[in-house]
């Protein structure tokens, strides 16, 4: 459903933001001291004298060092508070400095108790990574595991080096254009990491709607060949032979994974608007915005059909240019800070689907027993009482540590494994091998105390 209620007044929201019940840290107030860890090596670190640390880091997951800009609250070094974090991404032909030089992020976040992390998502303003571990790791750009870098390395490294609220209730992700796709794709593939996601002129559907798929194939292929200097299918693979990989990274396909995530989208329609300069050619920027405008609406339709709530600001005339993205950020921040101030409760039941052979979300781990390739697997209605596994192969399912260590539990399965008794591990988890019965793809598993 589209939530079109008026955005909270700026003054009221800033008051709410300042009243966020930030967790006090036992550490004393100090300036950040960025050290190696989580697979990242600090190549260089400089401070601008105000709020921003300009870092260069290297990792075995990428072929070259990349930049990470970290903006802290003005009182960071004089308090012992923990702060929420916004991961903020640039677009195609951009880089980590873009929001600083063109997006007015410093003035937009002035006075807010918020850490902003702005990393590279490509090299030297090239075509970008499209926020995935590339299918082709043997291009001229070499190893390219961007999702692993951003999600598995950068997020925990930031939490280890800064006084963050190191859980999903204190973590958000946003981006413009290609970065808008990335923010929604990462949020959909890792919903247990981010409580809030925003897309500014992004493309949150690249594969489910046929029109979106056709446009995405052309744009992604063009950025790969013309800007990255690699073959057109390097990122996601052939759109026909590897279609499942495209779908497995597509926010509109994964929309049900976002049921517990605050979703905000901004888009113009490509017609020159009030922030465009009269007399200046806008044809390319108008065309790109009209394409992402359609993509945003395709995502909205998928979310509406799946009963996943979202906020869409289709502001009408406006092109694919910085004045609109800077305005989007200003409009987004009060909503974000209000959400950080009053986070929703953790879900009592979760659902998640993926094409990955092994995945971990919300404390649940599913390891598919298929030999090779990608295929859909899903958990739904997963809670302490059990779950539904949808898969064509046997899979090993490990629960979160929700059970009494050493206690016995009766497992009953409908559509698969027969009833048996298991013992919770010393950490309170239960691990099961679930076998779908012949002609079944879904197995309903119940867990009850013996």
What does the mean pLDDT of the chain come to?
91
Return the pLDDT at 65. 98
Predicted model pTM: 0.92
**What are 163-178's pLDDT values in tens digits?**
999 999 999 999 999 9
The CA distance from 121 to 235, in Å, is 13
Q: State the DSSP H helix or E strand holding residue 446, giving kind and residue range, or none if neither.
A: strand 442-449
Token pair, residue 170, equals 């204190």
The average pLDDT across 252-278 equals 96
**What are 177-216's pLDDT values in tens digits?**
999 999 999 999 999 999 999 999 999 999 999 999 999 9
Return the pLDDT at 412. 93
Token pair, residue 294, equals 């359609």
Res. 27: pLDDT tops 70: no
Strand partners, 29: none
Strand 364-368 to 171-176 pairing: unpaired
The residues near 242 (Cβ < 8 Å, ≥ 6 apart) are 135, 233, 236
Return the pLDDT at 271. 93
Quote the strand ranges of 194-237, DSSP E. Answer: 196-200
Res. 4: pLDDT tops 50: no
The residues near 34 (Cβ < 8 Å, ≥ 6 apart) are 42, 45, 53, 55, 70, 161
The average pLDDT across 263-271 equals 97
- Neighbouring CB atoms inside 10 A of 450's CB total 10
In three state form, how does the secondary structure of 281-293 look?
CCHHHHHHHHHHH
Q: Got the DSSP string for 392-406?
A: SS-EEEE--S-S-TT
Higher pLDDT, 344 or 220: 220
C-alpha 66: how far from chain center: 19
Return the pLDDT at 87. 99
Strand 115-119 to 85-89 pairing: parallel
Strand partners, 264: 198, 311
Strand partners, 420: 411
Return the pLDDT at 8. 34
**CA distances (Å), origin 90, targets 63, 291, 397:** 20, 18, 37
**What are 287-331's pLDDT values in tens digits?**
999 999 999 999 999 999 999 999 999 999 999 999 999 999 999
**What are 336-382's pLDDT values in tens digits?**
999 999 998 889 999 999 999 999 999 999 999 887 788 999 999 99
**What are 393-444's pLDDT values in tens digits?**
899 999 999 999 999 999 999 876 666 899 999 999 999 999 887 767 899 9
Res. 135: pLDDT tops 90: yes
Q: What are phi and psi of 257, to 5 degrees?
A: -65, -20
The residues near 427 (Cβ < 8 Å, ≥ 6 apart) are 401, 405
Strand partners, 103: none
Angle at the Cα of 370 from the Cα atoms of 364 and 371, rounded to 5 degrees: 130
């Amino acid at each position: 459903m589209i939530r079109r209620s008026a955005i909270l007044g700026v003054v009221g929201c800033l008051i709410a933001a300042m009243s966020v019940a930030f967790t006090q840290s036992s550490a004393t107030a100090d300036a950040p001291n960025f050290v190696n860890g989580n697979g990242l090596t600090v190549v260089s670190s400089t401070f601008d004298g105000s709020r921003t640390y300009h870092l260069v880091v290297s990792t075995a997951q990428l072929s070259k060092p990349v930049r990470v800009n970290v903006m802290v609250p003005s009182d960071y070094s004089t308090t012992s508070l923990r702060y929420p974090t916004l991961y903020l991404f640039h677009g195609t032909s951009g880089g980590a400095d873009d929001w600083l030089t063109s997006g007015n992020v410093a003035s937009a976040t002035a006075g807010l108790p918020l850490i902003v992390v702005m990393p590279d998502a490509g090299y030297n303003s090239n075509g970008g990574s499209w926020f995935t571990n590339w299918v082709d790791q043997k291009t001229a750009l070499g190893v390219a595991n961007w999702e692993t870098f951003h999600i598995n390395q950068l997020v925990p490294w930031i939490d280890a080096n800064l006084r963050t609220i190191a859980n999903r209730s204190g973590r958000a992700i946003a981006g413009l254009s290609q970065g808008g796709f990335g923010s929604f794709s990462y949020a959909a593939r890792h919903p247990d990491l981010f409580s809030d996601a925003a897309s500014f002129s992004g493309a949150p559907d690249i594969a489910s709607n046929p029109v979106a798929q056709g446009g995405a194939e052309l744009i992604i292929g063009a950025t790969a060949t013309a800007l990255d200097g690699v073959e057109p299918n390097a990122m996601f693979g052939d759109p026909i032979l590897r279609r499942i990989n495209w779908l497995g990274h597509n926010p509109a396909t994964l929309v049900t994974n976002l049921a517990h995530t605050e979703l905000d989208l901004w888009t113009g329609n490509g017609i020159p608007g009030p922030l465009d300069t009269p007399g200046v050619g806008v044809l390319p920027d108008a065309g790109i915005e009209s394409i992402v405008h359609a993509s945003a609406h395709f995502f909205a339709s998928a979310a509406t059909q799946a009963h996943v709530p979202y906020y869409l600001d289709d502001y009408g005339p406006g092109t694919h240019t910085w004045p609109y993205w800077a305005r989007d950020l200003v409009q987004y921040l009060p909503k974000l800070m209000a959400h950080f101030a009053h986070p929703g409760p953790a879900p009592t039941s979760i659902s998640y689907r993926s094409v990955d052979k092994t995945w971990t979300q919300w404390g649940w781990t599913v390891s598919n027993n298929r030999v090779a390739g990608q295929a859909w697997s899903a958990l739904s209605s997963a809670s302490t009482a059990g779950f539904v596994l949808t898969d064509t192969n046997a899979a090993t399912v490990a629960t979160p540590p929700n059970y009494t260590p050493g206690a016995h539990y009766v497992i009953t399965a409908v559509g698969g494994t027969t009833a048996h008794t298991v013992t919770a591990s010393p950490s309170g988890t239960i691990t099961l091998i679930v076998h779908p019965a012949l002609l079944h793809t879904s197995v309903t598993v119940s867990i009850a105390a013996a």
